[in-house]
Amino acid sequence: MGLKILTTGSRHGQTITVVNGIYCDNVTGAVVAIDLHNPDQLRSMQSKLSGEIRPSLMKLKSLRSLDLSFNAFKAIPIPK
């Protein structure tokens, strides 16, 4: 799977670039949003993301949005 790069745009007043569901501020380079939702919620478990959500997400100080919906993180706590 290659990188899926979308053209730069605007999100909540910030100029951003999107690469594979990762939204980065064009000025600071900071990750401001992560969108890894499963677009087909009816697919088998094999196509869903699962595993451990690491506390290192807390190092992304500019992160304002994290979408992991319709994946298989049911029993795994998401760090506050």
What's the predicted TM-score (pTM) here?
A: 0.69
6: phi then psi, degrees, rounded to nearest 5: -95, 160
* Local confidence pLDDT in tens for the 80 residues of the chain: 344 444 455 555 666 777 788 888 888 889 998 988 887 766 666 678 877 777 788 889 999 888 888 888 766 666 66
What separation in angstroms does the CA of 68 have from each of 20, 26, 28?
A: 13, 23, 24
Q: How far apart are CA 19 and CA 75, in angstroms?
A: 28
Residues contacting residue 2 through CB under 8 Å, at least 6 positions apart: none
Rg over alpha carbons for the chain, rounded to the nearest Å, is 14
Q: Domain segments of the chain: what residues?
A: 7-73
User: 41 with 70: CB under 8 angstroms?
Assistant: yes
